[in-house]
């Protein structure tokens, strides 16, 4: 009898698999920041004062282009590598939920709001009548970390975790996670922009509290962009995720299941998963009746064009629909849900309907997700199109 075939993937194969799993916009930002740093390194460009975020010149000469050029340039190899490794898990999760066009708009919105907060705070500190401190008006800041801090706040709010692990050393309450990181980076790293990171945190909280909802366009805006002939090549890319089926007003719901709190942050788990995918490992081919294990929060990989998982997701949802109808006809409930659980289910269902999803589809998705609205939204997004 022939023994099981043991396969060993090389490092290039693992890297290609890891890279292919990163959505379109997130991978695009990584490429752009990496290429810009390499070009600056090769040509010897280090005049960051010409492109950095410098409040004094933005105010006096109205050089608003610095708002966007400053986030794409990095001062050292460690700077760009650390920022991009932090961006990949954060951007991947948020882009799969929101869609590629929406996450791009969010990054631009966060960059703008960070700059506004930066200018306001720097002006108040520098020109206060009691003790003027002009340092912040003349501080030259570069790097993507301000937006990353905003995304940390948004992802933490979305995950609903009760605690977060800081570098795997100790746990802190989730609501203090971003603030703890801010303090640690100031203490452990040199030449770090305190105001840049602080404004990133403020922008993240402003978004999660819904203060930016009037600045977020509706689904028709994103659909118009996705249907544009100019972007047809981008839309056909396998990593491009359509915005169809997302929240109608752009404010992400929070994960409210208190029984599933985890002390391990999603950022650290995903970062380890990304890094471990590069490693050589042996895999014995087996035929599992249940198929490969999936992330319970994100079944599949989100709905991308040309993805073959959509058919499987639809089949699973149809099966859930048949199971739910069968349960309703026989009056048998295997989990013996309490009245409070039923009320929570109806409340989450009404929220999904208010977002624009059809009631039957929302009910099926919420049932398949065991009442988790975040997973239900991901299932509904994968069925669109």
Q: Of 163, 165, 197, 317, which is the active-site residue?
A: 197
DSSP reduced 3-state for 281? coil
Question: For the purposes of burial, counting CB atoms within 10 Å of the CB of 281, is it exposed (0-12), middle (13-18) or buried (19 or more)?
Answer: exposed
Residue 58's CB is within 10 A of a number of other CB atoms, namely 20
Please compute, for residue 297, the number of CA atoms within 13 A of its CA located in the half-sphere on the CB side. 20
Q: Which residues of 322-351 are buried (b: 16+ CB within 10 A; e: fewer)?
A: eeeeeeeeeeeeeeeeeeeeeeebeebbeb
Known catalytic residue at 21? no
3-state SS of the chain: helix, strand, coil percent to 5? Answer: 60, 5, 35
Q: DSSP for 320-367, please give it.
A: HHHHHHHHHHHT--TT---HHHHHHHHHHHHHHHHTT--HHHHHHHHH
Nearest to 178 by CA among 154, 211, 161, 195: 154
What value does the CA radius of gyration of the chain take, rounded to a whole number of Å? 23
Pick from 323, 336, 330, 331: nearest CA to 368: 323
Catalytic residue selected from 145, 165, 317, 320: 145
Instruction: Kindly list the distances between the CA atom of residue 136 and the CA atoms of 54, 193, 323, 341, 349, in Å, as whole numbers in the listed order.
Output: 9, 9, 61, 51, 48
Identify the CA nearest to 150 among candidates 97, 100, 86: 86
Distances (CA, A) of 21 to 35, 65, 165, 336: 20, 32, 25, 39
Neighbours of 80 (CB within 10 A): 22
Helix (H) or strand (E) holding 165: strand 163-166
Residue 229 known to be catalytic: no
So which residues are the catalytic ones? 145, 197
């Amino acid at each position: 009898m022939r023994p099981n075939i043991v396969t060993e993937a090389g490092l290039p194969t693992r890297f290609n698999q890891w890279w292919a799993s990163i959505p379109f916009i997130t991978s695009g930002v990584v490429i752009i920041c990496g290429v810009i740093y390499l070009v600056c390194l090769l040509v010897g460009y280090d005049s960051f004062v010409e492109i950095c975020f410098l409040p004094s010149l933005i105010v006096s000469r109205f050089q608003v282009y610095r708002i966007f050029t400053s986030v794409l340039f990095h001062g050292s190899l460690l700077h760009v590598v650390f920022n991009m490794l932090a961006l990949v898990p954060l951007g991947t999760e948020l882009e799969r939920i929101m869609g590629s066009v929406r996450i791009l708009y969010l990054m631009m919105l966060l960059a703008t709001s960070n700059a506004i907060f930066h200018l306001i705070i720097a002006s108040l500190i520098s020109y206060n009548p009691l003790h003027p401190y002009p340092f912040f008006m003349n501080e030259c800041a570069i790097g993507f970390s301000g937006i990353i801090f905003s995304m940390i706040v948004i992802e933490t709010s979305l995950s609903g975790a009760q605690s977060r692990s800081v570098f795997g050393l100790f746990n802190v309450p989730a609501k203090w996670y971003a603030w703890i990181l801010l303090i640690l980076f100031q203490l452990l790293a040199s030449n770090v922009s305190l105001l840049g990171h602080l404004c990133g945190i403020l922008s993240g909280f402003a978004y999660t509290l819904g203060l930016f909802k009037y600045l977020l366009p509706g689904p028709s805006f994103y659909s118009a962009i996705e249907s544009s002939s100019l972007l047809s090549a981008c839309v056909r890319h396998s990593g491009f995720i359509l915005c169809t089926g997302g929240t109608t007003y752009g404010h992400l719901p929070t994960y409210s299941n208190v029984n599933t709190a985890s002390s391990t942050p999603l950022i650290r788990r995903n970062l380890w998963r990304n890094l471990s995918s590069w490693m050589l490992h042996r895999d014995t081919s087996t035929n599992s009746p249940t198929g490969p294990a999936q992330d319970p929060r994100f079944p599949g990989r989100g709905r991308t064009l040309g993805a073959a998982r959509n058919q499987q997701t639809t089949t699973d949802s149809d099966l859930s629909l048949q199971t739910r109808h069968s349960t309703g006809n026989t009056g048998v409930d295997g989990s013996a849900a309490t009245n409070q659980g039923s009320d929570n289910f109806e409340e989450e269902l009404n929220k999904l309907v208010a977002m624009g999803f059809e009631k039957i589809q929302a009910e099926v998705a919420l049932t398949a997700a065991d009442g988790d609205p975040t997973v239900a939204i991901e299932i509904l997004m994968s069925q669109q199109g």
